[in-house]
């Protein structure tokens, strides 16, 4: 009589510990993919989307002889970062942080840093941060790999290191395009009370109200007509800025993403001139130059 009960007991124990079949759930497109940025507020989410690479044609080469030079500075994570720096003609606490496109710190960005320096009368220190630690490319596929592969914490440390270089009394404004457009806004958030302004060209905006509440300045957004950073996203950003009690001035230009880059085969001269007039006017007002 014992054996039947013993067999039943063994069966029940085995059943209790036997692996159960789990219900298969639908996965987010970001699950299982290493993305070093918050999906809802960064362009890295689009890298694997069909057609996104072709959305960024390879930049044309430009002839460039810079007014500044490369410099290195320490970062809070114990390493070094580099940047292209043009110092003000007279010692100044006014600083413009310039943020690269997803290609890396190429000659176009250095040239644009020179243009800002000249148009700000040489009275502002202009520093273009190397957010990829020396990596530069002219192919969309590799640019996508760079953007996905960089660690958010490293990018934050580069910004913090640049702020330390500028000094505790520095007044910092920011400008950037594409990947750098997003980082123009993020830098404004990271630099706290030292921030005096931010210009973002067609960059994915932060839309977290609690984060936006910490902004110390208004924002100028110069956006393109495109499917990725869409009008819907821009209007949501405007709504979140309003909810946070912060001022956003923006315009959506008829040009495509990257319209303001002369090295872009899809460069739109008219839209670029209008956008730049808005950007430099904004920055002159912020710096009082």
Burial of residue 211 (CB within 10 Å: 0-12, 13-18, 19+) is middle
Task: Note every long-range contact of 15-20, with CB atoms under 8 Å and residues 24 or more positions apart, other chains counting.
Answer: none
Note the pTM of the prediction, 2 decimals. 0.83
Angle between helices 269-287 and 107-119 (to 10 degrees): 50
Q: Which two tokens stand for residue 262?
A: 């002369």
Q: How far apart are CA 175 and CA 198, in angstroms?
A: 6
Displacement of CA 15 from its chain's centroid (Å) = 53
Bridge partner residues of 221 (DSSP): 200, 250
- Phi and psi of 4, rounded to 5°? -60, -40
**pLDDT truncated to tens, each residue of the chain (289 aa)?**
445 454 554 444 444 444 433 332 323 222 332 223 344 456 666 666 656 655 566 777 777 888 999 999 999 999 999 999 999 999 999 999 999 999 999 999 999 999 999 999 999 999 999 999 999 999 998 999 999 999 999 999 999 999 999 999 999 999 999 999 999 999 999 999 999 999 999 999 999 999 999 999 999 999 999 888 999 999 999 999 999 999 999 999 998 888 998 888 889 999 999 999 999 999 999 999 9
CATH topology of domain 69-287: Rossmann fold (3.40.50)
Q: Pairing mode, if any, of strands 125-129 and 195-201?
A: unpaired
Q: What is the domain partition of the chain in residue ranges?
A: 69-287
């Amino acid at each position: 009589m014992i054996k039947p009960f013993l067999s039943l007991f063994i069966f029940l124990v085995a059943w209790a510990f036997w692996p159960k079949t789990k219900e298969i759930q639908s996965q987010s497109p970001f699950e299982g993919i290493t993305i070093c940025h918050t999906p809802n507020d960064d362009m890295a989410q689009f890298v694997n989307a069909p057609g996104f690479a072709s959305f960024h044609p390879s930049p044309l080469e430009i002839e460039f002889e810079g007014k500044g030079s490369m410099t290195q500075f320490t970062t809070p994570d114990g390493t070094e970062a580099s940047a292209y720096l043009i110092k003000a003609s007279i010692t100044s606490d006014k600083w413009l942080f310039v943020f690269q496109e997803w290609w890396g710190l190429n000659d176009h960005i250095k040239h644009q840093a020179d243009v800002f320096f000249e148009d700000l009368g040489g009275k502002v220190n202009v520093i273009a941060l190397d957010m990829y630690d020396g990596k530069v490319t002219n192919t969309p596929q590799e640019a996508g790999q760079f953007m996905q592969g960089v660690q958010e914490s490293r990018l934050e440390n580069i910004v913090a290191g640049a702020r330390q270089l500028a000094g505790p009394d520095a007044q910092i404004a920011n400008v950037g395009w594409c990947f750098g457009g997003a980082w123009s806004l993020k830098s404004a958030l990271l630099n706290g009370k030292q921030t005096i302004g931010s210009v973002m060209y067609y960059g994915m905006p932060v839309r977290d109200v609690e984060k936006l509440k910490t902004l110390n300045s208004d924002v100028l957004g110069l956006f393109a007509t495109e499917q990725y950073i869409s009008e819907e996203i821009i209007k949501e950003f405007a709504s979140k800025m309003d909810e946070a009690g912060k001022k956003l001035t923006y315009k959506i230009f008829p040009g495509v993403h990257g319209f303001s880059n002369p090295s872009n085969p899809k460069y739109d001269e008219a839209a670029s001139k209008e956008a730049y007039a808005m950007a430099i006017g904004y920055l002159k007002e912020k710096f009082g130059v």
